Amino acid sequence: MSSSCCKGKSGKLAGSCALTGSQLVELSPTRSKPEIDDDSCCNVNEVGSLKQAQLSTLVAHSETVSPCVVCDGFSSLGQSCCNESCIIRIADRECNESCGSRGDFPSTSTADEKAYDKGDDCCAKSKQSTKNKKGPCQSHMQSAKSRFQPTLDALECICRTLFALNLESCCSKIDNTSCMSLRSSANTISHRQSSETPSKCGKGDGYCCVAVSDLHKKQPEQECKKGRPSTGASCDKLVISRLSTSCEKKCCSEALVSATAGVTSNNCRSDDSDSIESRILQAPTPDVHMDLEKGYLSRERVVLSIQGMTCTGCETKLERTLANIPGVSEIKTSLVLSRAEFYFSSAQMSVNEAVVRLQKETGFECRKFTQEGHELEILSPSLSENKLGKSPPGVLSINRTTDGTSIIVYDPRIIGARDIVEKSFDKELKLAPNRPDPSISAGNKHVWQVGLATLISACLTVPVLILAWAPLPKQKTIYSSVSLVLATIIQVFIAGPFYVAALKSLIFARVIEMDLLIVLSTTTAYIFSVIAFALLIAGKPLATDEFFETSTLLVTLIMLGRFITASVRQKAMQSISIRSLQHSTAILVEGDGMVTKEIDVRLLQYGDIFRVMPETKVITDGTVISGDSEIDESMITGESNLVAKSKGSHAIAGSINGSGILHVRLTRLCDENTISTIANMVDEAKLSKPKTQDIADCVAGYFVPVILLITIVTFVIWIAVGIANQKKSTSDAIVQAVTYATAVMIISCPCAIGLAVPMVIVIAGGVGANNGVIFRSANSIEAAKNVTHVVFDKTGTLTMGILSVKRSSYFDSQTEDVKPILLGLVSGIKHPVSQAITQHLKSLGVSPTSVLDIKSVPGKGVLGKWNGNEVRAGNILWTQATSSSELQQFLSSGSTVMCFTVNNILRAVYALSDTLRPEAAQVVLDLHSKGVSTSIVSGDEVNAVHKTAKSLGIPLSNVLSGCSPEDKQAYIQTLKASSKSVILFIGDGTNDAIALASANIGVHMSEGTDVARNAADVVLTRPDLRNILVLIELSQKSFRRIIFNFVWSFVYNLFAILLAAGAFVNFRVPPAFAGVGEIVSVLPVIAIAVGLRWSKFSN
């Protein structure tokens, strides 16, 4: 049975319940609920009168609602949670109300259900005692069935229907201690024990969806241990409840087991093996994890913007810290994007608690945001969760932020953004300023903070340098004192975060990163200078003076390097940001089109019409309803030619209008339009890591420990050299060794190695998107350079996919009877052949005949039933069309042939023609010149496929016709069996899903707003085969840059360490200037990656 949302007579919810078997679960509400006047099953008349047309809509919408743990539990078992017992309880409720009875609800066991149909008089029944009551009267039973049976048959869950309508559901009467939140913004349901829990086991006068064996109001505690169910007892595999105090102490305390086990003892089960309860208890336990106090767990996707990462060591620390948090899985991190993504499911803590722990253990600033759903950020400090009860249907949650704003999460299918802001609360709300892309904003904030720290450090360092290097009067004690104060400020406030980061990395993540080298080197220089100063004050100065300028200049140069690196990296990210194409305001058209007003794009809602002025961007995806113009879609599709737009044309978000004015009806909100879709796919590729990244991670992981070892060796060698060869005192030799060791630690830089791959991958993803190639994973960028074989689908890929009927022939004297049947069969099919036949028949004025049980068979055709006869439309082999001279003529012409049969008797044949894409021949030629083989696999007839292959210069030995999806898969697997072969398959998505998944690289040809309809590795945003060449060449150019970055990183660190260690007699790098190492090492890596933006491709 499903649980439901319940209320008492007061109309206000006090808790939430979910009863399965004889179990009552007390759950904490997350918000108050709208008042419902009718105390019968949550306005059951409204739901019961649903028309069949509304049910299909509710099915789709109810899938997005997770009303209760029991509904979800049954769904996971593939079972429905409601049955006719729900209708019986509704009838009983109405029966009781009509006679003023408020007694207990009847048993819903199978035996008792039969008793309900006896047809006892309604008011006579009310005179019975509650204990002996037998159910509703015949009239109420028939009324409830007539209203609710269609809904139950269609949806199998009345509760979900009520939740989809934003109504409360209670299939039985309950008291105000057992209620459930209608809309919960939380991802776990927290349990608590109500203060109104009955004091005795089995006491209580209401239940929630109790479709189990007989539950009596009064029942001795002894019955519990004898196997009879008692109200409040926890006796079910599907739900583990927290029991009332008396139950815990007296009869059911042994029933509680660990939450992970998910099974209670049998102390309280009914002995009736035929009851509904017994059948539920014998069902397999659903895969739902639960903690007794936290409730059932959901699996939430969490996206965080991370501020404060500076090198690959930071990213490693982030990954390891996340991996140590319970419930975190599928971790993805990106230093370049300043982002982390993972899935979270834990009973030990909430998502917010996990984020707080992550911030504490890493020292990074983490901000949670979502790329899914619809949110409004409101400038209203007084708006809080307690306002949610007064909000209209569709407002799902209200959350306060640390910035003092409120986030409203809503369902735009139920309520629009403007309606929320203008009409839904006591006063009109005000939108908060629009936030930029979280990755960009986090990066900007980090650059600003590092820049400020660098400026302060520079201002404090300059006086120290002047006091150390300028020819000033000899007042050493005063100068040293001033230098000490300034150096201390820099060491504590500017270099202080390095200490925190290094210690957290060691303690929590067990990572030795670059920050540790900075801490050791600057601390060594600072402490040595402090000791030298102390000895100077004590009148025992060292032969070598203190060098505060070394530690201060070192910190300043390190900060300067990080500031420049972060700035350049941020500029590179902004230059390829897809979301920057989204305009922030829209011109809304109201009324008859004469009235307009400018609004924030976040306030757009379904059904809106917006105006696109000349030379401005299209705000979001939509359909042109008036006006003519030409639009530049190159920023989205890479197509340089202007595209004509008129009434009925699709307008793509981010494209630039020409000289005309267009009125466009919105079809997608800004959070889900083409810009957002492409940006999400590009970000997905940026977050993934190619195999070459594993090499970089491996090297970077050993880098710092190796540098520490080299530092120790350098220190020891220079002490020995100073004493043995240079004849210095021990103290002087140690001072000299410290300077060399410090320089080695600080000049080495693993950041260049860590950025060698991700920086190129990020830029390549943006460059590809600007050229109409969307990479779904970084492995696709890496693998495309090695493509050895390109396999083409024919229709819609090598050809335009716009077929037209050239010839037709009918093998029945009743031609006019055949056409309506064929039209009824193919009119709803989206395949290009079916669409061509549909268009042809409609142009002849044919009206379709009803054909039943229509089924599309991929790679073969369509079949259905007409007046008990089997009708088929498809290729010759599948339809088993008999050969004839006329049919042979159709085939020999090289046309695509479609046959129509009735009971395997040929009734009609159509010859259809398609046009090759104009660039197809040149693309195939270019691929051959690169040493890449080509093939065609198609479900079309052999002559049509061979004709296409010959015109393109593809060998007939590489051509496969009449293919089913499985045949395409088998062909690709055969090609992949060859060693070192990398197969690229390209199709338009129709019947190509298996082949796309089988190939090393699956490429989907798409148009504009269709980019999200597939699961390919690469998406082409415009139907242009030349983008295959862009894909391969971009991969090759990216790989060359990655190799250069690796070589540069190796060469830099080799020579830098040798210079710092004093390997060259006449030249060395003083420790004070070793801090410039990060700038010298990282800037070339970023510059080489950014150079991809100006690459030229074959198209």
- CB neighbours of residue 852 within 10 Å: 10
What span, in angstroms and rounded, lies between the C-alpha atoms of 112 and 118?
11
The CA-atom distances, in angstroms, between 634 and each of 638, 641, 656, 762 are 4, 8, 9, 20
**Residue 196, phi then psi, degrees to nearest 5:** -105, 20
Residues 6+ apart with CB under 8 A from 1066: none
- Asked whether 559 and 425 are in contact (CB, 8 A), the reply is no
What span, in angstroms and rounded, lies between the C-alpha atoms of 991 and 996?
10
What span, in angstroms and rounded, lies between the C-alpha atoms of 663 and 653?
14
Look at phi and psi of residue 380 and say left if phi exceeds 0, alpha if psi is from -120 to 50, else beta.
beta
Task: Name which of 477, 488, 482, 489 is nearest 465 in CA terms.
Answer: 482
What token pair was written down for 1081?
Answer: 């090492």
What token pair was written down for 462?
Answer: 């300059």
Burial track 105-117 (b if 16+ CB lie within 10 A, e otherwise): bbbbbeebbeebe
| DSSP assignment of 343-362 | EE--SSS-HHHHHHHHHHHH
What is the SS3 assignment for 364-411? CEEEEECCCCEEEEECCCCCCHHHHHHCCCCEEEEEECCCCCEEEEEC
- Can you tell me which residue has the tokens 């943006």? 766
Q: Return the half-sphere exposure (C-beta side, CA atoms, 13 A cut-off) of residue 988.
A: 20
What token pair was written down for 458?
Answer: 């520079």
**Residue 808, phi then psi, degrees to nearest 5:** -145, 150
Residue of 793, 914, 940, 1017 marked active site: 793
Q: Is 121 a catalytic residue?
A: no
- Can you tell me which residue has the tokens 């210079």? 1059
Burial track 538-567 (b if 16+ CB lie within 10 A, e otherwise): eeeebeeebbbbbbbbbbbbbbbbbbbbbb
- Asked whether 822 and 815 are in contact (CB, 8 A), the reply is no
- Can you tell me which residue has the tokens 């390919």? 1016
Task: Name which of 100, 143, 99 is nearest 121 in CA terms.
Answer: 99
Kind plus residue range of the DSSP H or E element containing 586: strand 585-590
Burial track 266-281 (b if 16+ CB lie within 10 A, e otherwise): ebbbbebeebbbbebb
**Residue 334, phi then psi, degrees to nearest 5:** -145, 120
What span, in angstroms and rounded, lies between the C-alpha atoms of 434 and 226?
64
Residues taking part in catalysis? 793
